[in-house]
Amino acid sequence: MADIETTTVNEAKFHALSRAGDFELSVDASGEEGPTPNQVLVADYASCFTFACRAGAQREMDVELGEVETTAEADLNDDDDLTSISFEMHVEADLDDGEVDELLDLGEDICHVRDSVKESLHADVDVTTDAF
């Protein structure tokens, strides 16, 4: 048995309902009935990177980040393929530059989505600390 199993049903047009465990996600290539696949990927990457930073800060730095808000931006080419991704992270904790660098290194090492996307799509990340 696989570690992850999902089911996606597309009945018509370009809208699909995907099920992962007990959860359902609506995805629509046109963006009319749900986020597009690219939007889902960018949001998933931002979420995973945020979680990875929090886990790394707790386990390796003994730092509690408090609230973290990550804004993601991505560019598409004429074929709607992702060409770049960037994150702006606002972190409640007041971190110095060395701690920010360590936090980003840990996020990059731990983030499963980052590990899964091609290197040219690894996000550029800016961090604002003491943000809330």
Q: Is the pTM of this model over 0.85?
A: yes
Give the span between the Cα atoms of 19 and 128, in whole angstroms.
35
Spans of all domains in the chain: 1-34, 37-128
Tokens linked to 7: 């089911």
Mean pLDDT value across residues 3-26:
94
Mean pLDDT value across residues 108-122:
93
Give the span between the Cα atoms of 2 and 22, in whole angstroms.
17
Give the span between the Cα atoms of 129 and 115, in whole angstroms.
25
Calculate the CA dihedral of residues 116, 111, 108, 53 and round it to 10 degrees. 160
Give the CATH superfamily of 37-128. Answer: K homology (KH) domain (3.30.300.20)
Q: Which pLDDT tens digit goes with each residue over 35-69? A: 999 999 999 999 999 999 999 999 999 999 999 99
